[in-house]
Amino acid sequence: MLEGGKIDSKQAILLMVAMVLPTAFLSVAAVTASLAKQDGWISILLATLGALLIAWLAVSLGLRFPEKTLFQFPEVILGKWPGKVVAFLYIWWYIHLNVEVLRQYGSFLVAAFMPETPISVFMLLIMAIAAYAVRNGLEVYSRVNELILPLILVSVVILNILAAPEMSMKRLLPVFEHGAVPIIKGAVMPTAWMGEIVTMAVLIPYLNKAKEAYRIAITATLIAGFFMLITQLADVAIFGPVTAAWLFPGLDAARVIHLANFLERLEPVVMVIWVAGVMIKISVFYWAAALGSAQWLELKDYKPLVLPVGVIIYALSIMAHDSLLDLFAFLGMFWGPYALTLFIVGMPLLLLVVAVIRGQGGSRH
Amino acid sequence: MRKLLACLALLIVVAGIFSGCWSRKEMSELAIVLGAGVDRTPDGQVRLTLQLARTGALAGGGEGGGGRGATTWVVSGTGSTILDAQRKLAERISRHINWTHNVVYIFGEEAARHGIRQYTNYYSRSPQPREITWVLVAKGEAKDILETISQLENTSAQDIGYLARAKTGFSINFKDFKVMLATKGSNPIASRVEIVERGVTLGPEKEKSVVHKGAALTGTAVFREEKLVGWLDESETRGLLWLRGEILKGVITLSSPTEPGKEISVEIMRGHTEVEPYYDGESVWFVVKIVVEGDLLEQQSSEDITERDVRKAIEEEMAREVEEKARLALDKAQGEYGVDIFGFGMAFHRKYPREWAELEDRWDEVFAGAYVDFVLESHLRRSGLLGKRGSVRE
């Protein structure tokens, strides 16, 4: 096998949470609030529900072929060439996903903290670290994540508690003012975020207890959904109608913290969450892209591909957008439908339906 | 050996990279803004006034080494936007202008009357200033306010900041002010800041004493949408706080129920306000329920407050007093300015989301014509360390 590592269920849960949460924490509230206004939290609940279905879909699919990844079993299901095309599209998707995440990572640091530093510097540094993590394999960065993610989750909770004096729950009322349509529209982007749980279909062969995959995917989605929900509620309770105007409401929620004229300006905590969390997020997708490429080309090892894949991601990320606003417009308008219809729901559903009809693979239990 | 050399080379490279930051700025290279004022010049330009901390004087060893010199330096520059004005100021300030420790934004009366929204954007777009900076409107020019000095605090900007934080009147931070600007059916309000006589600084001999003029908070600035339309004085501001349910501390002074001409003061310990809107398709009315709890701490008269009937009378008097203050503010807002500054519109919005859609665009009109009923509940909880008065002959 290309990847020799195995991770246990707890590591897998934490990894799947870290894959979704860091970028969502920072800007999910602006995305949902711009469409669903004060009802954004209902959008998040809806998105969590959607993501649970997606998690079920991905795991059902993956468990039919517990020895193969998302890049290998399409061949079994659809035949050699159609399967190769689907696998190739998934490799592209993981690269594209990483291109956007990497760009977001750099844009945030430049916009909020170091306006004079070129964005390429931040992006290069994080890619170098991620490349090192990916070369060392799944097991290694999963363990790093075991240290990092609890700190991130605790920080998010503490930040929200400290910002509580600035919150007014009345800003969340009236509920359901503009009806269901804006709420559903607002749920698209968070569903695409949490829908990244399809990565379970890559991860299943590397779980030491594959039969716990359902539990892993569902627990991870619920944890991610819960943290998105409290972030959404907190940000709207703090900023009300202003929430949608911020590019990074998660940062601005930390900026209003002031305790006893002493504990103020906690933005660096947000920066730590961002840098550490996005490092893991990028590593997961980077690993998936490199592993997928190796499996697609039927190589014996994915390590020689780490550098080339990294270079592609880095170069595309530099070229992808010419401004931060461009990036956000792209993510807001295009990303949700694109990722959801093709990669998160469309193709997995197609694969599952075909597999069931043809009776390929089978649950182990 | 080769490994050792490689390690050494790596160490040197790492030391080179990590020795400093890309765009670091030392404390001694910063001009730290403590207060920022925006005035509108007669030709429509922005005049930005910055109160800068003279860090050397602030940090200096205090009284030991003779005079510390002035703690602040106030500079003004004109431009077409705030950033433009700041850019021009930078030509006269030898250090990087740093907004991260700014305490107050003061808007001049002229600027506020012309519409305040055009002056607020830079403060939230730039990552440096804080969202929790206090927002105040100067009676007169913001520049004059920032050019005062404080006797008690290091700088007048900090002094104003502490006054705002004490919440004895109405005060609001930048974030909440923006939320008010963005909310339909509510009009922004901010503290009014004004130069008044604040006390006497004594010289060695009585003749040399100087009457000290300083900036103080003297009420509330009232906006319609984004334009300043008028003020509430201190006592109307008390009423405003009752109506908004923001009362935190203060004193209610009422006349003695038994002895005319003598007064009783009750310290407010707790209070809260509920606004209940009603709408029957034609007219809108409100029932405002105010609950107030207080401790009696001063009594000029000598009735026996251990008697239940006397306490009842005092409680009724408290309620009347609170209602009177609230009516004062309400009448001014409904009658003179015709603007909803109490968040009644938001309460209506929450209760009647559907009906709100028809009324939101002419809400101030609806508010001005709305009938408001008060329901008061007052409790005298404690009376300090005394029961009945001790200095009275039986």
pLDDT digits (tens, 9 = 90+) for B106-133: 999 999 999 999 999 999 898 888 888 9
* B129 and B278 together in one domain: no
In a domain, B9, yes or no: no
**Domain definitions of chain A by residue range:** 9-355
Mean pLDDT of A70-95: 91
Chain B stretch 127-156, residues whose beta carbon is closer than 8 A to a beta carbon of chain A: 127, 130-132
Q: Is residue B141 located within the same domain as residue B30?
A: yes
pLDDT of residue A1: 54
Report the distance separating Cα A69 and Cα A92, nearest Å. Answer: 15
- For A245, the token pair is 């105007």
What does A71-96 look like in DSSP terms, one character per residue? TTHHHHHH-HHHHHHHHHHHHHHHHH
Lowest mean pLDDT among A21-30, A138-147, A168-177, B57-66: B57-66
β partners of residue B221:
B190, B231
Cα distance between residue B173 and residue B64, in whole Å: 37
Range in A31-40, A170-179, B36-45, B61-70 with the lowest mean pLDDT: B61-70
Residue B300 inside a domain? The answer is: yes
Tokens of A244: 């949608």
Give residue A14's pLDDT. 94
B179 touches chain A (CB under 8 A): yes
Contact A66, A54 (CB under 8 A): no
Note whether A256 contacts B: Cβ–Cβ < 8 A.
yes
Q: What is the pLDDT of residue B281?
A: 84
Q: Considering only CA atoms, which of B41, B312, B52 is closest in space to residue B158?
A: B52
Using N-to-C axis directions, what is the helix angle for A267-296 and A119-136, rounded to 10°? Answer: 50
> Does B363 map to a domain?
yes
Instruction: Based on the fold, state whether residues B149 and B59 are members of the same structural domain.
Output: yes
Using an 8 Å CB-CB cutoff, list chain B residues near A255.
Answer: 130-132
B20 at A interface, C-beta within 8 A: no
In a domain, B247, yes or no: yes
pLDDT in tens, B229-274: 999 998 899 999 999 988 767 888 988 888 888 999 999 988 889 9
- In terms of CA atoms, which chain B residue is nearest residue A115? B23
Q: Which amino acid is at A142?
A: S
* Residue B175 placed within a domain: yes
**In a shared domain, residues B73 and B142:** yes
Token pair, residue A277, equals 């969390």
Shortest CA gap A139–chain B (Å)? 27
Partners of B100 on chain A (C-beta within 8 Å) are 265
d(CA B352, CA A83): 56
> Long-range CB contacts (< 8 A, 24+ apart) of A172-176?
A172/A38, A172/A41, A172/A233, A172/A236, A172/A237, A173/A38, A173/B350, A174/A38, A174/B349, A174/B350, A174/B351, A174/B353, A175/A38, A175/A39, A175/A42, A176/A39, A176/A42, A176/B353
Per-residue pLDDT reduced to its tens digit, A52-61 = 999 999 999 9
Q: Which of B182, B201, B232 is the last residue of a domain?
A: B232
Interface contact B178-A255, CB threshold 8 A: no
Say how far apart CA A305 and CA A301 lie, in whole Å.
Answer: 8
Question: Over the range B52-90, which residues count as b (16 or more CB within 10 Å of their CB) and which as e?
Answer: bbbeeeeebeeeeeeebeebbebebbebeebebbbeebe
- At A132 the pLDDT is 93
Residues of chain A contacting B351 with CB distance shorter than 8 Å: 174
CA B326-B331-B336 angle, 5° bins: 140
Residue finishing a domain among B232, B265, B287: B232
B197 and B272 housed in the same domain: no
- Judged by CB atoms closer than 8 Å, whether chains meet at A256 and B100 is answered as no
Q: Give the number of other CB atoms < 10 A from CB of residue A53.
A: 13
Is any Cβ of chain B less than 8 angstroms from the Cβ of A125? no
Categorize the per-residue pLDDT at B185 as very low, low, confident or very high, splitting at 50, 70 and 90: confident
In sequence order, what are the residues at sequence separation of 6 or more whose Cβ sits closer than 8 angstroms to the Cβ of residue A68?
A76, A205
- pLDDT value for A223: 95
Q: Taking CB atoms and an 8 Å limit, are B127 and A112 in contact across chains? A: yes
Question: How far is it, in rounded angstroms, from Cα A233 to Cα B390?
Answer: 55
d(CA B104, CA B102): 6
Q: Which residues pair with B252 in a beta bridge?
A: B266
Q: Which residues of B touch A121 (CB under 8 A)?
A: 22
- Statement to judge: residues B318 and B267 lie in one domain: yes
Is any Cβ of chain A less than 8 angstroms from the Cβ of B175? Answer: yes
Element (H, E) at B210: strand B210-224
CA-based nearest residue to A186, from A244, A238, A115: A244
Instruction: Please state the ipTM of this predicted complex.
Output: 0.86
Tell me how many residue pairs between chain A and chain B have CB atoms under 8 A apart.
51
Average pLDDT value over all residues in chain B: 87
Q: Do both B285 and B163 map to the same domain?
A: no
User: A83: which residues sit within 8 A by CB, 6+ positions away?
Assistant: A73, A74, A75, A76, A77
Domain count, chain B: 2
Residue pair B232/B190 in contact by the 8 Å Cβ criterion: no
Amino acid B66: pLDDT: 41
- Inspect the interface and report whether the beta carbons of B182 and A242 lie closer than 8 Å: yes
Tell whether the torsion through CA atoms of B316, B322, B325 and B328 is positive or negative: negative
Mean pLDDT to the nearest integer, A137-161: 92
Query: Which of B213, B232, B251 delimits the end of a domain?
Result: B232
pLDDT in tens, A270-327: 999 999 999 999 999 999 999 999 999 989 889 999 999 999 999 999 998 888 888 8
Of the candidates A117, A121, A170, the beta carbon closest to that of B350 is on: A170
- Tell me the two tokens of residue A116: 């004079």
Q: Does residue B17 belong to any structural domain of this protein?
A: no
Instruction: Find the angle CA(A263)-CA(A264)-CA(A265) to the nearest 5 degrees.
Output: 140
Whether B59 and B208 map to the same domain: the answer is: yes
Please indicate, yes or no, whether residues B41 and B123 belong to a single structural domain of this protein.
yes
- What percentage of chain A has pLDDT greater than the value 70? 99
SS3 A258: strand
Residues A121-135 have a mean pLDDT of: 93
Asked if residue B362 is part of any domain, the answer here is yes
Q: Which two tokens stand for residue A31?
A: 């995305």
Instruction: Give me the residues of A, 99-118, that contact B with CB < 8 A.
Output: 111-117
Chain A residues whose CB is inside 8 A of the B14 CB are none
**pLDDT cut 90: percent of chain B above it:** 44
Please check the confidence at residue B206 and state whether its pLDDT lies above 70.
no
Instruction: Give mean pLDDT, residues A334-341.
Output: 89
Structure tokens at A216: 């892993």
Tokens representing A302?
A: 């994915």
CB atoms inside a 10 Å sphere around CB B375: 13
Q: What is the mean pLDDT of chain A?
A: 90
State whether B257 and B277 are in the same domain: yes
The CATH number for B362's domain is 3.30.300.210
Which pLDDT value is given to residue A365? 42
Q: Return the amino acid letter for B361.
A: D
pLDDT tens digits for B63-99?
444 445 678 889 999 999 999 999 999 888 888 899 9
Report the CATH superfamily, name and number, of domain A9-355: Amino acid/polyamine transporter I (1.20.1740.10)
Q: Are residues B208 and B240 in the same domain?
A: no
**How far, CA to CA in Å, does A137 sit from each of A6, A97, A130, A204?**
10, 20, 11, 15
- Type of residue numbered A259: L
Chain centroid to CA B370: 28
pLDDT at B205: 66
Picking from A171, A176, A252, A255 by the largest number of B CB atoms within 10 A of its own CB, the best residue to mutate is A255
Nearest chain A residue (CA) to B23:
A116
Range of the domain at B336: 233-394
Give the C-alpha distances (Å, rounded to integers) separating B103 from B37, B53, B159, B216.
Answer: 11, 12, 9, 15
CB distance from A252 to chain B under 8 Å?
yes
Cross-chain Cβ contact B179/A239 below 8 Å? yes
Residue-level pLDDT at B62: 46
CB proximity B183 to A under 8 Å? yes
Helix (H, G, I), strand (E, B) or coil at A200: helix
Instruction: Tell me the shortest Cα–Cα distance from A20 to chain B, in angstroms.
Output: 26
Q: Kindly determine whether residue B175 and residue A265, on different chains, have CB atoms separated by under 8 Å.
A: no
Residue from A26, A176, A239, A257 whose CB has the most chain B CBs within 10 Å, to mutate: A239
Contacts of A261 in chain B (CB under 8 A): 165
Higher pLDDT, B244 or B200: B244
Residue B239 lies in a domain: yes
How are beta strands B30-40 and B46-53 bridged, if at all?
antiparallel
Judgement on whether residues B228 and B239 belong to the same structural domain of the protein:
no
Residue A252 to chain B, least CA–CA distance (Å)? 8
